[in-house]
């Protein structure tokens, strides 16, 4: 299925017949198919919506660099068009960062964040990179350094999406996390290198009503590697207590 927002197509799927709305937001470089295994575990009880975020899957690719805050407004428009209100949000990585911003501004039933880094602290620039900037080497040489020493996600993106990636990974969302009022669950792999487990502990300190589950021997994709266990924990969390109401 597809929906048009501001003249651009966003593709999505819906499944399940439950009354409560659950929306799953995938991570960087992924698509809705990555969230489908988890969606299948929840479809007996909930009405599930998963989508290809702009720039990924079948959805449109932005012609100019968007900010993560613009992605959040696109999600707001998406929800409005589909009449989704007070959703349960489940976000992985990049999708989790979008969910943090959305939940800081809008009514959310419950929030589940999986490997979603939030706190960004300035790190000392590597000596090699300082040297590389100091000598002002050619554009071609700069690209070589980026390819050699940049992250896999950075190297796999181009144009507007690369600019978005750089802006996103450097954006600190601590102020947004502090505004989240709904019950929140953090699901994190103990061996996550993209969003180390310490990121989860920092995030937990920022959100008032927050629980955390550390998945032993799991990586950034703990929700897929330990699908049965993670889905069971998520269901337990969602069934616990009354629906959040502002």
Domains, the chain: 2-120+171-239 (3.40.50.1820)
Sign of CA pseudo-dihedral 196, 192, 154, 63: negative
Please give the pLDDT value at position 66: 85
Q: How far is CA 13 from the centre of its chain?
A: 18
Alpha carbon of residue 217 to chain centroid = 21
| H/E element, 140 | helix 139-149
**pLDDT tens for the chain, residues 1 to 246:** 999 999 999 999 999 989 999 999 999 889 999 999 999 999 999 999 999 999 999 999 988 888 899 999 999 999 999 999 999 999 999 999 999 999 999 999 999 999 998 987 655 444 444 444 444 445 454 444 344 434 444 455 555 666 666 666 678 999 999 999 999 999 999 999 999 999 999 999 999 999 999 999 999 999 999 999 999 999 999 999 754 443
- Contact indicator for 246, 85 with CB cutoff of 8 Å: no
The rounded distance, in Å, linking the Cα atoms of 66 and 168 is 10
Total Cβ atoms within 10 A of residue 48: 26
Secondary structure (DSSP) of 167-222: HHHT---HHHHTT--S-EEEEEETT-SSS-HHHHHHHHHH-SSEEEEEETT--TTH
- Please give the model's pTM, rounded to 2 decimal places: 0.84
């Amino acid at each position: 299925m597809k929906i048009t927002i501001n003249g651009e197509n966003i593709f999505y799927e819906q499944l399940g017949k439950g009354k409560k709305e659950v929306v799953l937001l995938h991570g960087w470089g992924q698509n809705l198919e990555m969230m489908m295994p988890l969606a299948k575990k929840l479809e007996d009880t909930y009405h599930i919506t998963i989508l290809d975020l702009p720039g990924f899957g079948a959805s449109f690719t932005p012609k100019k660099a968007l900010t993560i805050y613009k992605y959040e407004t696109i999600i707001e428009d998406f929800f409005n068009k589909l009449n989704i209100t007070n959703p349960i949000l489940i976000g992985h990585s990049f999708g989790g960062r979008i969910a943090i911003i959305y939940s800081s501004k809008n009514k959310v039933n419950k929030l589940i964040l999986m490997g979603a880094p939030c706190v960004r602290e300035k790190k000392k620039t590597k000596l090699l990179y300082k040297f590389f900037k100091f000598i002002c080497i050619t554009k071609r040489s700069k690209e070589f350094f980026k390819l050699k020493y940049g992250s896999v996600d950075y190297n796999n993106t181009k144009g507007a999406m690369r600019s978005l990636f750089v802006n996103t990974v450097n954006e600190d969302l601590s102020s947004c996390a502090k505004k989240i009022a709904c019950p929140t669950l953090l699901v994190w792999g103990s061996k996550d290198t993209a969003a180390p487990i310490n990121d989860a502990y920092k995030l937990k300190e920022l959100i008032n009503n927050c629980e955390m589950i550390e998945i032993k021997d799991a990586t950034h994709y703990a929700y897929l590697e330990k699908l049965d266990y993670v889905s069971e924990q998520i269901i337990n969390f969602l069934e616990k207590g009354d629906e959040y109401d502002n």
